[in-house]
Structure 1
Amino acid sequence: MLWNLHLSITSMVFLMMVSISSLWKSIQLMLNNSAIVLEWDLSTINSSFIEFVVVLDWMSCLFLSFVSFISAMVLFYSKEYMHGHPHTERFLYLVLMFVLSMSLMICSPNLISILLGWDGLGLVSYVLVIFYQNEKSANAGMITVLSNRIGDVAILMSITIMFHFGSWNFYHYVNTFSDESFLLLSLVIIAAMTKSAQMPFSAWLPAAMAAPTPVSALVHSSTLVTAGVYLLIRFSPALINSSTQPTLLLIASLTMFMAGLGANFEYDLKKIIALSTLSQLGVMITTLAMGFPFLAFFHLLTHALFKALLFLCAGVMIHNMKEYQDIRTMGSTSKFMPLTVMCFNSANMALCGFPFLAGFYSKDLILEMAFSSNINSIIFFLLVFATALTVSYSARLFFFSISSTFKLSTFSNPFDNAKDMTYPMLMLSFASLASGCSLLWLIFPEPHMICLPLTLKMLPIFIIILSAIFGYSMTTNMTNTPLFKTPAIIHFMGSMWFLPWISGFSLGKPFLQTGNEFQHSLDKGWSELLGAQGIFDSLMISSKKVQLAQENTIKVFMFSFFLWIAFIILLKT
């Protein structure tokens, strides 16, 4: 236990030092408009150089700083949350491997080295999802790893396609991609969609809530699910004005709307926040597909802070209520845990875009840029309704878990005395308050005038007010319309449009059954007969014959002599 404590503290201090130094280096590189490239040549194949490259520009350093800061807070938080667990040391090592994989992916401009971090994220996430070792965790881990393997295969195929460019460093070619590179760009988009859980690969993200809550705070804020968005930001010069851009815009908008709709019918606290993450990922990719990659990166950073804070606060509430996650069993938590509720509400309001919090600066700017850009009516209404649904489920979560009657008085005694859990929440709360304006001044130092009609300018405010009223009405059973009384409609909207069932059926029975048949017919059949095992058997038989022929016995000598005489006689006749 003492070793685990030292490991946790040492890792936390190291990550905080990395965060501070990366932030300072990012500001320096941004002011100098420069980048640092470190390159190691490993080997050469047909004029293609296999090399390990690290690029440190302002974007990678800034993202690395946020990842390190959130990881340090999660490790500090985990000391109390995982206290008494028999495998705490394994958990700490897995979290550090997760951070290392994400750091490798952030700083790599090479598809092969990106694949190392990409696969590392997928593997460690699977191990963390099944950390509690029960049937639910095993099923969630299986759908997570199978969904992400599709993206891994897409990255492998992209590496094969880039072979004819002469290098796998896409930085050299991303500005020169044309419609001839449609297949390569499509594979990169598919890989990003699987990792960021866009439709139809959305089912694994709520299922991954089977992992411990500190892991959820790390995964759903700045690491696993944002890897796809970050990859698309790096490929954004090729994505903008390409033939794949409208399709990506429609898929991301539908994902954003579907996740917000599902969160309004969900009662699991962690799954509500997970669907919120899915909705915000749709916002980021929608912004990216509209042609604003830096704005998507801005929202990615602000979202990472308040989403990590949301998960940490949810973890405290679940931890104090004896692992109950149903929001219908919570209520009046502000009387028992005022500090946690304060942090939870600040993160919730930042998520809704409350003025002058972190989410306001990014989401309001995204909406205004969307209203002033050339988008069709479908994308416009999906964006507006998704924003409304975000405020609705946030208000519903607030009234259900905080303002209603407390219903677990005989089972739990919630309190705010765990300092190892409250200090990281306070740090992230301060970051959620101050990061919005600071990042806005840093990433967009030049002010831009956005001129909109009064109706469009006031539309976000009306959306927030009306959606908050609607969310409150859902908690007090004031919605007596037939829409909310039909079980089929409620099941359709609350089950993510049947995507979990479709993913479980498509990834489960056909793929696993086909894989089993291939294993018996190929891996244990023809591959064994004609592959390594068959070659081994042939070599063993041949070597035994050679060994027998080389033995110096009179029997072998006489047999060889008479065989030679018979052969000569046959030749003469």
Structure 2
Amino acid sequence: MDFISICFISLVLLMILSIVFLLMSLNFLFFNLIYLIEWEIISLNSTSVVMTLLLDWMSLMFMSFVLLISSVVIYYSKDYMSHDYNINRFIMIVLMFVLSMMLLIISPNLISILLGWDGLGLVSYCLVIYFQNTKSYNAGMITALSNRVGDVALLMAIAWMMNFGSWNYIFYLEIKNQTFLMMIIGSLIILAGMTKSAQIPFSSWLPAAMAAPTPVSALVHSSTLVTAGVYLLIRFNIIFLNNYLGQLLLLISGLTMFMSSMGANLEFDLKKIIALSTLSQLSLMMMILSLGFMKLAFFHLLMHALFKALLFMCAGSMIHNLMNFQDIRMMGSLCKMMPLTSTYFNISNLALCGMPFLAGFYSKDLILEMVILSNVNKMIFFFFFFSTGLTVSYSFRLIYYSMIKIFNLMSLYSLNDESLVMLKSMMILLIMSIIGGSIISWLIFPVPSMICLPLYLKVLVLLICLMGGLMGYLISMFFYYKMNYLLKNFMMKMFFGSMWFMPIISTLSMIFLPLMMGKKLVKEMDQGWSEWFGGQGLYLNMKNMSQYFQFYQNNNLKIYMLMFILWFFIIFFFVF
């Protein structure tokens, strides 16, 4: 079967399923329905292994968005990956990735969640090392090893839940919330969510995973792999109430949001800037979830999936036209040569900033107003608002470098907007990024809430955005005209620009602690002492002894002469 047929079949199937799931989710939302479908696989003593599917408005709507973005990405790959000889394999891996995410979304059972969770980890490793070079192999190893921590945490949570007699967590959250056992399970679940959503100290794998092809990045960093951790914590949202777990997660995600926003303002790789932007938005979801606003976190998760997938696809189109250049200092004046792609790019960037009446505005503005109403301290308040300003800052910096300044690459490059496949695939997400926020907010929050704020707090969100955009533009000007007075300290730039040295620390810790220790253990124990005193040593000793005795058993004259002389001297010595 050729690529066109595989691409077309998967595209049509995913799009139809997306529409069906969206209509089902609206029905479930309107009638407030929840369906639990159970299939008991095995029963051992009092513990039963049950395959369970949870269908409610949240899982169906999330699946609809994932399938929509997947279908668009597969259509986009038809042009972007057209040079690849193994394109069928690429599409199959992407479909396996989507299947793993589906399994994770509809599972209220920790074992089936682990199946989808591990499926995401393994398939993401295959996708990160898809371009087979040293950089991709290193990035894939960091991604896989970082995510294994979360996998182990989930396994330990499964072991602890054996005390309840079942792994269907959905039955125990409200009843057992205050128990010490549920606190342990909750802390393990939070650890798993932190690794998959790349919170501190597991943040370094997310920018490294940009070694994957751009269509994969558009899928992974918008609605699948990195959002799996947030979605898991949304399902376990009750464990944050009335204990210190929520406060701890709030602090860690606030630090991650600040760190990633600062790093994006000092980064020059286009895909890494968008990856750090993803990390910043994930931390925003984690923070608002820690405060107890589960629906708000889910709403922003959906909106972020739309405009972030569009942002990655626009970046991929630019990189494709620039013959795989990713440095934003090499770009400039792209709006003159690629007007449609530049329009899509700017609209998705403004949606990310929270521009009024785009998709990101409805979620981010509501989140920040709920933070103002909540009982948070000054540090958390600073993390929320300063990081939002930094988000607008790096977005406007990106617009300046790619659209406003002069074109900085070689003049023989022919840039154009002639790829209709890419443009048509991006058009679907563009429409959703414009109208999706208002429509989904009307559906998820049908009853209006009264948010009463004084004028200076109401204007604060808009003021922060305007100040952030101005700062981004000014910093870009300082960088471009070599007048970088604000950021002259090299070590400060190095510290904030390299995610607080986290990639270096995690890489070195992987090299020096587990890998070097494993090498020494293999050399000293497996191939050393245990070989000498174990089977190989026994084999060598018995082999030498058998060769020795075989030599004597041969009726050789030299041996008899030697033995005769030896006995003669012994007798002579004892007698005389």
TM over 0.5: yes
1:469-548 matched pairs, under 5 angstroms: 469-477=470-478, 482-519=485-522
**Could you say if the C-alpha distance between residues 278 and 49 of structure 1 is closer, same or farther in structure 2, counting changes exceeding 3 Å?**
same
**Could you say if the C-alpha distance between residues 530 and 113 of structure 1 is closer, same or farther in structure 2, counting changes exceeding 3 Å?**
farther
* Structure 2 partner of 1:182: 183
* Structure 2 partner of 1:552: none
* Structure 1 partner of 2:561: none
* Structure 1 partner of 2:75: 76
Q: Secondary structure at the match of 1:244?
A: helix
**Could you say if the C-alpha distance between residues 162 and 14 of structure 1 is closer, same or farther in structure 2, counting changes exceeding 3 Å?**
same
* Aligned equivalents of 2:523, 2:196: Cα separation in 1: 31
* Aligned equivalents of 2:403, 2:41: Cα separation in 1: 57
* Structure 1 partner of 2:426: 425
* Structure 1 partner of 2:47: 48
* Aligned equivalents of 1:526, 1:241: Cα separation in 2: 54
Tell me how far 1:481 sits from its aligned partner. Answer: 7.0
* Aligned equivalents of 1:234, 1:525: Cα separation in 2: 49
**Could you say if the C-alpha distance between residues 497 and 451 of structure 1 is closer, same or farther in structure 2, counting changes exceeding 3 Å?**
same
Q: Secondary structure at the match of 1:37?
A: strand
Residues 331 and 404 in structure 1, CA contact (< 8 A), matched pair in contact too: yes
* Aligned equivalents of 2:525, 2:437: Cα separation in 1: 56
Q: Deviations over 1:37-59 (max 9, x none)?
A: 21111101221110111111100
Q: Secondary structure at the match of 2:513?
A: helix
* Structure 2 partner of 1:63: 62
Residues 354 and 365 in structure 2, CA contact (< 8 A), matched pair in contact too: yes
* Aligned equivalents of 1:432, 1:81: Cα separation in 2: 22
Tell me how far 1:439 sits from its aligned partner. Answer: 0.8
Q: Deviations over 1:419-472 (max 9, x none)?
A: 111111111000001110011011110000011121111011111111111111
**Could you say if the C-alpha distance between residues 524 and 431 of structure 1 is closer, same or farther in structure 2, counting changes exceeding 3 Å?**
farther
* Aligned equivalents of 2:66, 2:360: Cα separation in 1: 18
1:173 aligns with 2:190: no
**Could you say if the C-alpha distance between residues 518 and 405 of structure 1 is closer, same or farther in structure 2, counting changes exceeding 3 Å?**
same
Tell me how far 1:514 sits from its aligned partner. Answer: 2.8
Amino acid at match of 1:392: S
Residues 322 and 411 in structure 1, CA contact (< 8 A), matched pair in contact too: no
> Which entry has the higher C-alpha Rg, 1 or 2?
2
Residues 179 and 242 in structure 1, CA contact (< 8 A), matched pair in contact too: no
1:333 aligns with 2:334: yes
* Aligned equivalents of 1:528, 1:170: Cα separation in 2: 47
1:25-44 matched pairs, under 5 angstroms: 25-44=24-43
* Aligned equivalents of 1:397, 1:442: Cα separation in 2: 33
* Structure 2 partner of 1:86: 85
Residues 183 and 239 in structure 2, CA contact (< 8 A), matched pair in contact too: no
* Structure 2 partner of 1:194: 195
Q: Secondary structure at the match of 2:136?
A: helix
Bigger mean CA offset, 409-418 vs 50-59? 409-418
Residues 104 and 113 in structure 1, CA contact (< 8 A), matched pair in contact too: yes
Amino acid at match of 2:502: L
* Aligned equivalents of 1:155, 1:266: Cα separation in 2: 34
1:271-286 matched pairs, under 5 angstroms: 271-286=272-287
* Aligned equivalents of 2:30, 2:16: Cα separation in 1: 21
Q: Secondary structure at the match of 1:158?
A: helix
1:290-439 matched pairs, under 5 angstroms: 290-439=291-440
* Aligned equivalents of 1:37, 1:455: Cα separation in 2: 47
Q: Secondary structure at the match of 1:484?
A: coil
* Aligned equivalents of 1:457, 1:230: Cα separation in 2: 30
**Could you say if the C-alpha distance between residues 265 and 162 of structure 1 is closer, same or farther in structure 2, counting changes exceeding 3 Å?**
same
1:454 aligns with 2:455: yes
Residues 76 and 424 in structure 1, CA contact (< 8 A), matched pair in contact too: yes
* Aligned equivalents of 1:54, 1:124: Cα separation in 2: 22
Residues 266 and 494 in structure 1, CA contact (< 8 A), matched pair in contact too: yes
**Could you say if the C-alpha distance between residues 104 and 463 of structure 1 is closer, same or farther in structure 2, counting changes exceeding 3 Å?**
same
Amino acid at match of 1:126: Y
Residues 71 and 218 in structure 1, CA contact (< 8 A), matched pair in contact too: yes
* Aligned equivalents of 2:45, 2:521: Cα separation in 1: 34
Tell me how far 1:508 sits from its aligned partner. Answer: 2.5
Q: Secondary structure at the match of 2:385?
A: helix
Q: Secondary structure at the match of 1:41?
A: strand
* Structure 2 partner of 1:161: 160
Tell me how far 1:407 sits from its aligned partner. Answer: 1.9
* Aligned equivalents of 1:479, 1:453: Cα separation in 2: 42
**Could you say if the C-alpha distance between residues 530 and 72 of structure 1 is closer, same or farther in structure 2, counting changes exceeding 3 Å?**
farther
**Could you say if the C-alpha distance between residues 92 and 522 of structure 1 is closer, same or farther in structure 2, counting changes exceeding 3 Å?**
farther
**Could you say if the C-alpha distance between residues 479 and 388 of structure 1 is closer, same or farther in structure 2, counting changes exceeding 3 Å?**
farther
Q: Deviations over 1:486-537 (max 9, x none)?
A: 1011111111111111111122320112333455677778999999x99xx9
**Could you say if the C-alpha distance between residues 383 and 121 of structure 1 is closer, same or farther in structure 2, counting changes exceeding 3 Å?**
same
* Aligned equivalents of 2:521, 2:235: Cα separation in 1: 37
Amino acid at match of 2:503: P
* Structure 1 partner of 2:232: 231
The answer for unaligned runs of 5 or more in structure 1 is 538-573
Residues 18 and 68 in structure 2, CA contact (< 8 A), matched pair in contact too: yes
* Aligned equivalents of 1:104, 1:249: Cα separation in 2: 28
What is the RMSD of the two structures over their aligned residues, measured on CA atoms? 1.9
**Aligned residue pair count:** 533
Name the TM-score, length of structure 1 as normaliser. Answer: 0.90
Residues 473 and 479 in structure 1, CA contact (< 8 A), matched pair in contact too: no
Q: Secondary structure at the match of 2:2?
A: helix
* Aligned equivalents of 2:384, 2:244: Cα separation in 1: 22
**Could you say if the C-alpha distance between residues 527 and 153 of structure 1 is closer, same or farther in structure 2, counting changes exceeding 3 Å?**
farther
* Aligned equivalents of 2:499, 2:161: Cα separation in 1: 36
**Could you say if the C-alpha distance between residues 50 and 420 of structure 1 is closer, same or farther in structure 2, counting changes exceeding 3 Å?**
same
* Aligned equivalents of 1:497, 1:525: Cα separation in 2: 40
Amino acid at match of 1:430: I
Amino acid at match of 2:119: G
* Structure 2 partner of 1:116: 115
* Structure 2 partner of 1:129: 128
* Aligned equivalents of 1:519, 1:402: Cα separation in 2: 54
Amino acid at match of 1:111: L
The answer for unaligned runs of 5 or more in structure 2 is 540-576
Tell me how far 1:410 sits from its aligned partner. Answer: 2.5
1:15-34 matched pairs, under 5 angstroms: 15-34=14-33
Q: Secondary structure at the match of 1:476?
A: helix
* Aligned equivalents of 1:170, 1:439: Cα separation in 2: 28
Tell me how far 1:179 sits from its aligned partner. Answer: 4.2
Bigger mean CA offset, 521-530 vs 283-292? 521-530
Amino acid at match of 1:41: E
Q: Secondary structure at the match of 2:431?
A: helix
* Structure 2 partner of 1:442: 443
Tell me how far 1:94 sits from its aligned partner. Answer: 0.6
Amino acid at match of 1:178: Q
Q: Secondary structure at the match of 2:43?
A: strand
